[in-house]
Protein backbone atom coordinates (compact mmCIF):
# COMPACT_ATOMS: atom_id res chain seq x y z
CA UNK A 1 0.00 0.00 0.00
CA UNK A 2 1.34 3.46 -0.88
CA UNK A 3 1.63 6.14 1.81
CA UNK A 4 -0.89 9.01 1.63
CA UNK A 5 0.83 11.71 -0.47
CA UNK A 6 -1.03 14.53 1.29
CA UNK A 7 0.01 13.32 4.71
CA UNK A 8 3.58 12.63 3.51
CA UNK A 9 3.97 16.15 2.09
CA UNK A 10 2.58 17.75 5.25
CA UNK A 11 5.12 15.80 7.33
CA UNK A 12 7.98 16.74 4.98
CA UNK A 13 7.03 20.41 5.41
CA UNK A 14 6.97 20.00 9.22
CA UNK A 15 10.39 18.30 9.15
CA UNK A 16 11.93 21.09 7.04
CA UNK A 17 10.44 23.68 9.37
CA UNK A 18 11.96 21.92 12.37
CA UNK A 19 15.33 22.14 10.61
CA UNK A 20 14.86 25.92 10.61
CA UNK A 21 13.56 26.48 7.04
CA UNK A 22 10.74 28.95 6.56
CA UNK A 23 8.38 26.55 4.75
CA UNK A 24 4.78 27.50 3.98
CA UNK A 25 2.66 24.37 3.83
CA UNK A 26 -0.26 24.45 1.43
CA UNK A 27 -0.24 20.67 1.29
CA UNK A 28 -2.81 19.37 3.75
CA UNK A 29 -6.53 19.75 3.22
CA UNK A 30 -7.33 21.06 6.66
CA UNK A 31 -9.22 24.23 7.62
CA UNK A 32 -6.86 26.60 9.43
CA UNK A 33 -9.81 27.70 11.61
CA UNK A 34 -10.37 26.29 15.08
CA UNK A 35 -13.55 24.33 15.86
CA UNK A 36 -16.30 26.86 16.75
CA UNK A 37 -16.48 27.53 20.51
CA UNK A 38 -20.07 26.37 20.98
CA UNK A 39 -19.14 22.91 19.64
CA UNK A 40 -16.10 22.68 21.89
CA UNK A 41 -18.28 23.68 24.85
CA UNK A 42 -20.74 20.90 23.98
CA UNK A 43 -17.91 18.34 24.13
CA UNK A 44 -16.73 19.71 27.46
CA UNK A 45 -20.27 19.48 28.82
CA UNK A 46 -20.59 15.91 27.53
CA UNK A 47 -17.39 14.94 29.34
CA UNK A 48 -18.73 16.45 32.56
CA UNK A 49 -21.97 14.51 32.09
CA UNK A 50 -20.05 11.24 31.87
CA UNK A 51 -19.98 10.57 28.12
CA UNK A 52 -16.74 8.70 28.59
CA UNK A 53 -17.89 5.15 27.76
CA UNK A 54 -18.38 3.00 24.69
CA UNK A 55 -21.36 3.95 22.55
CA UNK A 56 -23.45 1.72 20.26
CA UNK A 57 -21.10 0.74 17.38
CA UNK A 58 -22.98 2.68 14.64
CA UNK A 59 -23.17 5.78 16.87
CA UNK A 60 -25.23 7.32 19.67
CA UNK A 61 -28.95 7.33 18.85
CA UNK A 62 -28.95 11.08 19.52
CA UNK A 63 -26.29 11.66 16.86
CA UNK A 64 -27.93 9.36 14.32
CA UNK A 65 -31.22 11.24 14.90
CA UNK A 66 -29.41 14.51 14.23
CA UNK A 67 -27.83 13.07 11.06
CA UNK A 68 -31.24 11.81 9.92
CA UNK A 69 -32.64 15.32 10.40
CA UNK A 70 -29.66 16.86 8.57
CA UNK A 71 -29.97 14.47 5.62
CA UNK A 72 -33.62 15.45 5.23
CA UNK A 73 -33.10 19.15 5.87
CA UNK A 74 -30.06 19.73 3.66
CA UNK A 75 -30.11 16.90 1.12
CA UNK A 76 -33.70 15.70 0.75
CA UNK A 77 -32.53 12.20 1.73
CA UNK A 78 -34.62 9.78 3.81
CA UNK A 79 -32.23 7.62 5.80
CA UNK A 80 -33.57 5.84 8.92
CA UNK A 81 -31.41 5.24 11.99
CA UNK A 82 -30.55 1.67 10.92
CA UNK A 83 -29.13 3.14 7.69
CA UNK A 84 -26.70 5.51 9.40
CA UNK A 85 -23.23 4.57 10.68
CA UNK A 86 -20.91 7.03 12.44
CA UNK A 87 -17.19 6.32 12.11
CA UNK A 88 -13.77 7.70 12.99
CA UNK A 89 -13.76 10.08 10.03
CA UNK A 90 -15.20 9.87 6.54
CA UNK A 91 -12.00 8.05 5.68
CA UNK A 92 -13.07 5.14 7.85
CA UNK A 93 -16.60 5.26 6.41
CA UNK A 94 -15.11 4.72 2.95
CA UNK A 95 -12.76 2.00 4.21
CA UNK A 96 -15.66 0.18 5.92
CA UNK A 97 -17.66 0.36 2.68
CA UNK A 98 -14.80 -0.90 0.59
CA UNK A 99 -14.28 -3.92 2.85
CA UNK A 100 -18.01 -4.60 3.13
CA UNK A 101 -18.92 -4.34 -0.55
CA UNK A 102 -15.94 -5.41 -2.62
CA UNK A 103 -14.35 -8.69 -3.55
CA UNK A 104 -11.34 -9.54 -5.63
CA UNK A 105 -12.19 -9.13 -9.31
CA UNK A 106 -14.78 -6.38 -8.75
CA UNK A 107 -14.17 -3.13 -10.61
CA UNK A 108 -14.62 0.28 -9.04
CA UNK A 109 -14.94 3.33 -11.28
CA UNK A 110 -13.15 6.26 -9.66
CA UNK A 111 -13.75 9.67 -11.21
CA UNK A 112 -10.40 11.45 -11.64
CA UNK A 113 -8.86 13.67 -10.49
CA UNK A 114 -9.74 11.76 -7.31
CA UNK A 115 -8.99 12.10 -3.63
CA UNK A 116 -5.69 10.41 -2.88
CA UNK A 117 -6.95 7.71 -0.50
CA UNK A 118 -9.68 6.29 -2.74
CA UNK A 119 -7.23 4.41 -4.89
CA UNK A 120 -5.38 2.64 -2.07
CA UNK A 121 -8.51 1.94 -0.01
CA UNK A 122 -10.10 0.22 -3.01
CA UNK A 123 -6.94 -1.72 -3.80
CA UNK A 124 -6.77 -2.97 -0.20
CA UNK A 125 -10.11 -4.72 -0.69
CA UNK A 126 -8.67 -6.65 -3.64
CA UNK A 127 -10.92 -4.87 -6.16
CA UNK A 128 -9.55 -3.13 -9.25
CA UNK A 129 -9.74 0.66 -9.58
CA UNK A 130 -10.86 1.82 -13.05
CA UNK A 131 -9.96 5.46 -13.57
CA UNK A 132 -12.20 7.73 -15.65
CA UNK A 133 -10.53 11.13 -16.07
CA UNK A 134 -11.27 14.70 -17.03
CA UNK A 135 -8.68 17.42 -17.61
CA UNK A 136 -8.82 21.16 -17.05
CA UNK A 137 -10.51 21.66 -20.46
CA UNK A 138 -13.55 19.80 -19.00
CA UNK A 139 -13.30 21.70 -15.69
CA UNK A 140 -12.06 18.34 -14.36
CA UNK A 141 -15.60 16.92 -14.65
CA UNK A 142 -16.22 13.58 -16.36
CA UNK A 143 -19.36 13.01 -18.40
CA UNK A 144 -22.06 10.37 -18.08
CA UNK A 145 -20.94 9.01 -21.48
CA UNK A 146 -17.44 8.45 -20.12
CA UNK A 147 -18.92 6.54 -17.17
CA UNK A 148 -21.12 4.46 -19.46
CA UNK A 149 -18.10 3.56 -21.59
CA UNK A 150 -16.17 2.34 -18.51
CA UNK A 151 -18.92 0.07 -17.13
CA UNK A 152 -18.37 -3.68 -17.56
CA UNK A 153 -20.14 -6.69 -16.06
CA UNK A 154 -17.58 -6.53 -13.22
CA UNK A 155 -18.39 -2.95 -12.21
CA UNK A 156 -19.61 -2.87 -8.61
CA UNK A 157 -19.16 0.72 -7.50
CA UNK A 158 -18.68 4.29 -8.64
CA UNK A 159 -16.85 6.63 -6.29
CA UNK A 160 -16.35 10.39 -6.44
CA UNK A 161 -16.39 13.54 -4.31
CA UNK A 162 -18.40 16.67 -5.12
CA UNK A 163 -17.34 19.34 -4.24
CA UNK A 164 -14.18 17.59 -5.35
CA UNK A 165 -10.89 17.13 -3.61
CA UNK A 166 -8.45 17.92 -5.33
CA UNK A 167 -10.04 20.11 -8.05
CA UNK A 168 -12.76 22.06 -6.23
CA UNK A 169 -15.15 21.27 -9.10
CA UNK A 170 -18.81 20.73 -8.24
CA UNK A 171 -21.14 18.57 -10.32
CA UNK A 172 -24.40 20.33 -11.19
CA UNK A 173 -27.87 18.87 -10.67
CA UNK A 174 -28.14 18.09 -14.41
CA UNK A 175 -24.73 16.37 -14.46
CA UNK A 176 -25.60 14.24 -11.43
CA UNK A 177 -28.96 13.36 -12.95
CA UNK A 178 -27.18 12.12 -16.07
CA UNK A 179 -24.89 9.97 -13.88
CA UNK A 180 -27.95 8.58 -12.06
CA UNK A 181 -29.64 7.69 -15.33
CA UNK A 182 -26.60 5.76 -16.58
CA UNK A 183 -26.12 3.90 -13.30
CA UNK A 184 -29.83 3.07 -12.95
CA UNK A 185 -29.76 1.45 -16.37
CA UNK A 186 -27.32 -1.21 -15.07
CA UNK A 187 -28.08 -3.75 -12.34
CA UNK A 188 -26.11 -4.08 -9.15
CA UNK A 189 -23.88 -0.99 -9.37
CA UNK A 190 -23.59 1.15 -6.24
CA UNK A 191 -22.53 4.77 -5.81
CA UNK A 192 -20.41 6.23 -3.04
CA UNK A 193 -21.05 9.96 -3.07
CA UNK A 194 -18.47 11.68 -0.85
CA UNK A 195 -20.02 14.97 0.19
CA UNK A 196 -17.59 16.01 2.90
CA UNK A 197 -17.12 19.48 1.30
CA UNK A 198 -20.88 20.08 1.08
CA UNK A 199 -20.78 23.26 3.15
CA UNK A 200 -17.82 24.73 1.24
CA UNK A 201 -19.68 25.42 -1.97
CA UNK A 202 -19.61 28.85 -3.66
CA UNK A 203 -22.12 28.06 -6.38
CA UNK A 204 -25.58 26.56 -6.58
CA UNK A 205 -27.33 24.61 -3.82
CA UNK A 206 -25.58 21.33 -2.95
CA UNK A 207 -27.17 18.31 -4.63
CA UNK A 208 -26.96 14.72 -3.33
CA UNK A 209 -27.19 12.10 -6.06
CA UNK A 210 -29.11 9.86 -3.61
CA UNK A 211 -32.04 12.30 -3.84
CA UNK A 212 -32.84 11.00 -7.35
CA UNK A 213 -35.46 8.26 -7.07
CA UNK A 214 -33.85 5.93 -9.61
CA UNK A 215 -30.62 5.55 -7.56
CA UNK A 216 -31.74 6.23 -4.01
CA UNK A 217 -31.53 2.54 -3.05
CA UNK A 218 -28.01 2.19 -4.42
CA UNK A 219 -26.41 5.33 -3.10
CA UNK A 220 -24.21 5.57 -0.06
CA UNK A 221 -23.87 9.18 1.03
CA UNK A 222 -20.66 9.85 2.95
CA UNK A 223 -20.13 13.02 4.94
CA UNK A 224 -18.26 14.21 8.01
CA UNK A 225 -17.47 17.00 10.42
CA UNK A 226 -13.83 17.66 9.46
CA UNK A 227 -14.25 20.31 6.78
CA UNK A 228 -17.54 22.18 7.30
CA UNK A 229 -17.15 22.41 11.08
CA UNK A 230 -13.32 22.60 11.19
CA UNK A 231 -13.17 19.36 13.20
CA UNK A 232 -10.40 17.39 11.44
CA UNK A 233 -8.80 16.20 14.68
CA UNK A 234 -12.07 14.98 16.18
CA UNK A 235 -12.14 12.08 13.72
CA UNK A 236 -15.87 11.97 13.03
CA UNK A 237 -17.56 10.99 9.78
CA UNK A 238 -20.73 9.17 8.79
CA UNK A 239 -22.66 7.49 6.02
CA UNK A 240 -26.25 6.93 5.02
CA UNK A 241 -26.65 3.64 3.15
CA UNK A 242 -29.08 0.84 2.30
CA UNK A 243 -29.77 -0.97 5.63
CA UNK A 244 -27.90 -4.16 4.69
CA UNK A 245 -24.78 -2.19 3.76
CA UNK A 246 -24.97 -0.13 6.97
CA UNK A 247 -25.28 -3.37 8.98
CA UNK A 248 -22.24 -4.88 7.25
CA UNK A 249 -20.19 -1.72 7.92
CA UNK A 250 -21.25 -1.72 11.58
CA UNK A 251 -20.16 -5.35 11.85
CA UNK A 252 -16.71 -4.51 10.48
CA UNK A 253 -16.45 -1.45 12.69
CA UNK A 254 -17.45 -3.52 15.73
CA UNK A 255 -14.33 -5.60 15.15
CA UNK A 256 -12.01 -2.72 14.19
CA UNK A 257 -12.68 0.33 16.39
CA UNK A 258 -16.00 -0.18 18.27
CA UNK A 259 -17.07 3.25 17.02
CA UNK A 260 -16.29 6.92 17.53
CA UNK A 261 -15.56 8.83 20.75
CA UNK A 262 -18.61 9.27 22.99
CA UNK A 263 -18.22 12.95 23.96
CA UNK A 264 -17.24 13.84 20.38
CA UNK A 265 -20.48 12.31 19.14
CA UNK A 266 -22.50 14.35 21.62
CA UNK A 267 -20.84 17.55 20.38
CA UNK A 268 -21.33 16.49 16.75
CA UNK A 269 -25.07 16.03 17.30
CA UNK A 270 -25.16 19.49 18.78
CA UNK A 271 -23.13 20.93 15.87
CA UNK A 272 -25.55 19.65 13.23
CA UNK A 273 -28.62 21.11 14.87
CA UNK A 274 -27.24 24.36 16.25
CA UNK A 275 -26.34 27.72 14.75
CA UNK A 276 -24.29 27.19 11.59
CA UNK A 277 -23.21 30.82 11.22
CA UNK A 278 -19.52 29.93 11.88
CA UNK A 279 -19.67 27.35 9.05
CA UNK A 280 -21.03 29.93 6.63
CA UNK A 281 -18.46 32.51 7.78
CA UNK A 282 -15.65 30.05 7.09
CA UNK A 283 -17.10 29.40 3.64
CA UNK A 284 -17.06 33.13 2.88
CA UNK A 285 -13.46 33.40 4.08
CA UNK A 286 -12.52 30.53 1.75
CA UNK A 287 -14.31 32.23 -1.12
CA UNK A 288 -12.33 35.46 -0.58
CA UNK A 289 -9.04 33.54 -0.46
CA UNK A 290 -9.94 31.59 -3.57
CA UNK A 291 -10.59 34.79 -5.49
CA UNK A 292 -7.35 36.33 -4.30
CA UNK A 293 -5.21 33.26 -5.00
CA UNK A 294 -6.66 32.69 -8.47
CA UNK A 295 -5.66 36.25 -9.36
CA UNK A 296 -2.12 35.76 -8.06
CA UNK A 297 -1.64 32.41 -9.81
CA UNK A 298 -3.05 33.66 -13.11
CA UNK A 299 -0.28 36.22 -13.02
CA UNK A 300 2.35 33.45 -13.32
CA UNK A 301 3.28 32.81 -16.97
CA UNK A 302 2.77 29.18 -17.98
CA UNK A 303 0.34 28.25 -15.21
CA UNK A 304 -3.18 27.26 -16.33
CA UNK A 305 -5.47 27.97 -13.40
CA UNK A 306 -8.92 26.46 -12.85
CA UNK A 307 -11.76 28.32 -11.16
CA UNK A 308 -13.10 25.96 -8.48
CA UNK A 309 -16.61 26.42 -7.13
CA UNK A 310 -16.14 24.41 -3.93
CA UNK A 311 -13.76 22.90 -1.34
CA UNK A 312 -10.52 24.82 -0.64
CA UNK A 313 -8.15 23.69 -3.36
CA UNK A 314 -6.90 25.08 -6.65
CA UNK A 315 -5.59 22.55 -9.14
CA UNK A 316 -3.52 24.25 -11.85
CA UNK A 317 -2.25 22.46 -14.95
CA UNK A 318 1.52 22.93 -14.99
CA UNK A 319 2.49 20.88 -18.04
CA UNK A 320 4.00 24.01 -19.66
CA UNK A 321 6.90 23.76 -17.20
CA UNK A 322 7.84 20.19 -18.09
CA UNK A 323 11.29 19.90 -19.69
CA UNK A 324 12.49 23.16 -18.10
CA UNK A 325 15.41 23.57 -15.69
CA UNK A 326 16.97 26.18 -13.42
CA UNK A 327 20.43 24.75 -14.12
CA UNK A 328 20.45 22.42 -11.10
CA UNK A 329 17.00 20.79 -11.12
CA UNK A 330 15.03 19.69 -14.19
CA UNK A 331 11.24 19.45 -14.08
CA UNK A 332 10.02 16.42 -15.99
CA UNK A 333 6.70 15.86 -14.22
CA UNK A 334 4.42 17.11 -11.44
CA UNK A 335 6.43 15.31 -8.73
CA UNK A 336 9.58 17.17 -9.86
CA UNK A 337 7.58 20.41 -9.96
CA UNK A 338 6.48 20.03 -6.32
CA UNK A 339 9.98 19.03 -5.24
CA UNK A 340 11.32 22.12 -6.99
CA UNK A 341 8.78 24.37 -5.22
CA UNK A 342 9.57 22.79 -1.86
CA UNK A 343 13.33 23.25 -2.15
CA UNK A 344 13.57 26.48 -4.17
CA UNK A 345 10.47 28.37 -3.00
CA UNK A 346 9.94 26.67 0.37
CA UNK A 347 6.28 26.12 -0.49
CA UNK A 348 4.80 22.65 0.06
CA UNK A 349 2.00 21.56 -2.29
CA UNK A 350 0.94 18.12 -3.53
CA UNK A 351 1.73 16.60 -6.91
CA UNK A 352 -1.19 15.76 -9.18
CA UNK A 353 0.22 12.25 -9.55
CA UNK A 354 -1.29 11.47 -6.13
CA UNK A 355 -4.72 12.32 -7.50
CA UNK A 356 -4.49 10.57 -10.85
CA UNK A 357 -3.63 13.80 -12.74
CA UNK A 358 0.01 13.87 -13.78
CA UNK A 359 -0.07 17.37 -15.36
CA UNK A 360 -1.29 19.17 -12.26
CA UNK A 361 -0.55 20.13 -8.70
CA UNK A 362 -2.82 20.89 -5.74
CA UNK A 363 -2.66 24.00 -3.60
CA UNK A 364 -4.76 24.09 -0.46
CA UNK A 365 -5.82 27.65 0.32
CA UNK A 366 -6.86 26.81 3.87
CA UNK A 367 -4.15 29.22 5.02
CA UNK A 368 -3.95 32.91 5.93
CA UNK A 369 -4.11 35.58 3.22
CA UNK A 370 -0.62 36.65 4.16
CA UNK A 371 0.73 33.10 3.69
CA UNK A 372 -1.08 32.76 0.38
CA UNK A 373 0.31 36.07 -0.94
CA UNK A 374 3.83 35.18 0.14
CA UNK A 375 3.56 31.66 -1.38
CA UNK A 376 2.38 33.03 -4.71
CA UNK A 377 5.23 35.54 -4.71
CA UNK A 378 7.78 32.80 -4.00
CA UNK A 379 6.32 30.42 -6.59
CA UNK A 380 6.36 33.13 -9.25
CA UNK A 381 9.96 34.03 -8.45
CA UNK A 382 11.15 30.40 -8.47
CA UNK A 383 9.41 29.58 -11.74
CA UNK A 384 10.69 32.74 -13.48
CA UNK A 385 14.26 31.37 -13.59
CA UNK A 386 13.27 28.16 -15.41
CA UNK A 387 14.45 27.84 -19.02
User: Exposure of 127 by Cβ count < 10 A (0-12 exposed, 13-18 middle, 19+ buried)?
Assistant: buried
Partner interacting with residue 116 (select from ligand GLU, ligand PMP, none; CB below 5-8 Å by kind): ligand GLU
Per-residue contact string for residues 280-319; x = within reach of ligand GLU by CB under 6 A: ----------------------------------------
Tell me whether residue 234 is exposed, middle or buried, using C-beta atoms within 10 angstroms of its C-beta: 0 to 12, 13 to 18, 19 or more: buried
Q: Which does 175 bind (CB under 5 to 8 A by kind): ligand GLU, ligand PMP, none?
A: none
111 binds ligand GLU (CB under 6 A): no
Stretch that binds ligand GLU, among 23-31, 34-42, 186-194, 216-224 (CB under 6 A): 23-31
**The only residue of 87, 98, 117, 306 in contact with ligand GLU, by rule CB under 6 A:** 117
H or E segment and range at residue 41? helix 37-48
Instruction: Judge whether 362 and 166 are in contact, CB under 8 Å.
Output: yes
CB 58 within 8 A of CB 86: yes
First to last CA, the chain: 37
Contact between 116 and ligand GLU (CB under 6 A)? yes
| Residue number, 32 or 326, with CB nearest to ligand GLU | 32
Site of interaction with ligand PMP (CB under 6 A): 29, 89-91, 115, 161, 165, 194, 196, 224, 226, 232, 237
- Please answer whether residues 372 and 47 qualify as being in contact, where contact means their C-beta atoms are separated by less than 8 angstroms: no
- CA nearest to 22, candidates 248, 312, 347, 318: 347
User: 220 to each of 56, 85, 192, 279, how far by Cα in Å?
Assistant: 21, 11, 5, 24
**Which of 79/313 has CB closer to ligand GLU?**
313
Minimum distance, C-beta of residue 232 to ligand PMP, in the bound complex (Å): 5
37-48 vs 262-273: helix crossing angle, rounded to 10: 140
- Please report how close the Cβ of residue 321 comes to ligand PMP at its closest, in angstroms: 26
User: Is 297 in contact with 376 (CB distance < 8 Å)?
Assistant: yes
Q: Give the interface segment with ligand GLU, choosing from 26-34, 155-163, 210-218, 335-343 (CB under 6 A).
A: 26-34
Task: Among 93, 161, 165, 375, indicate the residue that binds ligand GLU (CB under 6 A).
Answer: 165
Site for ligand GLU in 38-97 (CB under 6 A): 91
Q: Contact residues for ligand GLU (CB under 6 A)?
A: 4, 6-7, 28-30, 91, 116-117, 165
Amino acid sequence: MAESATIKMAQLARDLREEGHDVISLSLGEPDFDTPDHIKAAAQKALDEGYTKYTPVPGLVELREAIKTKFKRDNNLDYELNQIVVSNGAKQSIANLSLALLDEGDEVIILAPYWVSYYEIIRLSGATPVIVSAGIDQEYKVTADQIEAAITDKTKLILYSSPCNPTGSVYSEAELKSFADVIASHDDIYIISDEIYEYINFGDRHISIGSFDNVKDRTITVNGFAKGFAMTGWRLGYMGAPAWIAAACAKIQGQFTSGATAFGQKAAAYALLSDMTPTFEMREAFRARRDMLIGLLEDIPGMKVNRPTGAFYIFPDISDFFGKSDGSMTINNADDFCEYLLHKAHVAAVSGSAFGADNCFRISYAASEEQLRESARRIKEALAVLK
